[in-house]
A and B are shown apart, each in its own frame.
Chain A
Amino acid sequence: MAVLSHFTLNSDYTAIKEAQNFSLTLNVTKKSVRPYDYYNSYADIYVPAGAFIENVTIYWSYTGDTVPSSELIVDEMYSYGMMQTEIFLYRVNATTYRLRHYVINTDENSHNAGGYTITAKAHLFVTSQ
């Protein structure tokens, strides 16, 4: 035990370790979405097998802002208020993380959606367990 605020580095303690980082771009196709329908697109990040990679944090760049999250829900993203988009990252298997994007039309009318690019940066951290 130690008063850790007295130290910047102390080898008695375990830290998470950044093993790799990646950049990812997802192009969201412009299309018309039928009433109460949705479409989705995704892009995959491939990582080396063997190590258990965890605590992935991603940084979104959309409309100029960078948002740190593994999930981003944007309601009323479009000029018509019944559209929703959801963007999230998850680990598919030992070698793949997936960035997935949904556009959901909750309206009784068709609407256009998409036609933009989402960029993300992922940082892969490991611990000893």
Chain B
Amino acid sequence: MDARNFLFSSDYPMPVICWEWAGNGDYWNVGANQTRTVNVAHKLPFKPLLIGQWALRADFAPSQDINTTTFYPVYDPINGELVLAYMSSDGTNVIFDMQNFSATASKFYFRLWAYAPPDYTGEMPNVYDTTSFQLSTDYNYPKIVKQGTVSVNYKSEVTIPHGLGYIPQIRVWEEVGGKISPCTAFWEDGKKGGPRVTNQSLIIRNYVAGNSSGSTRKYYYHIYGDES
């Protein structure tokens, strides 16, 4: 069955939200040339996989995905990265690591949601939709065709076949030092790091930079039947 032909299908698991941090206008204040780490207990029996956005304004205009640690709307390519946020989770907390190298104080706003890791098989807490519907045919719902975890050695890559014949949507998270964060991709020293996807496989490389210890990393992935 071609998952692309369906808005949702009982043949495929749907990634559901088990935790949220909508913020309600809350923010973390970080002074000029300061850093700040805030831990928020998630009260989940696992390390959650985070998705979401962050911003320096309550209206999230502008804003960007949390898998981008540099806040590009204030980015200065000559003077470097001014405002950064690193999102991660461990077994107890969602961790907000914020850095403000600008000359003025900044307010950091977040809108976060989380999935359970693929290897969790226990009970799931509910996060209810505040609209009238839990499922609505006005939307397309992600359909997981393959999910799991994989360990990748330093300067190596692992290929995860999906065999769909088209390029699917995916999400990848990486675990470093016991903390899980969204995994982004970059190329350095002629090597491609992080995830990339073809019409047959998801390929994850334990990238050269940012891994000064040369350690093996664990990656969590979703491969959806929905086309990219």
Interface of A toward B, CB cutoff 8 Å: 1-5, 7-19, 36, 38, 40, 52, 54-57, 59, 65-77, 86, 88-94, 100, 102, 104, 121, 123, 126-129
Contacts and interface: CB of A to CB of B under 8 A. Distances in A.
B14 interface: yes
A17 B135 CA distance: 9
Given A9-B135, A88-B68, 20 more contacts: A15-B16, A17-B138, A17-B141, A55-B53, A67-B196, A68-B170, A68-B172, A69-B67, A69-B68, A69-B185, A70-B68, A71-B67, A71-B184, A72-B184, A73-B187, A76-B189, A90-B64, A90-B72, A102-B77, A121-B228
A3 B72 contact: no
Contacts, number: 198
Contacts of A66: 167, 196-198, 228
B139 A18 contact: yes
A70 B66 CA distance: 9
Interface residues of B, number: 73
Contacts of B178: none
Nearest to B61: A93
A8 B142 CA distance: 11
Interface string B55-69: 000011111110110
Given A3-B124, A71-B70, A14 B195 contact: no
Contact of B186 (A54, A56, A72): A72
B205 to A, nearest CB: 11
Interface in B92-139: 111, 113, 116, 120-131, 134-136, 138-139
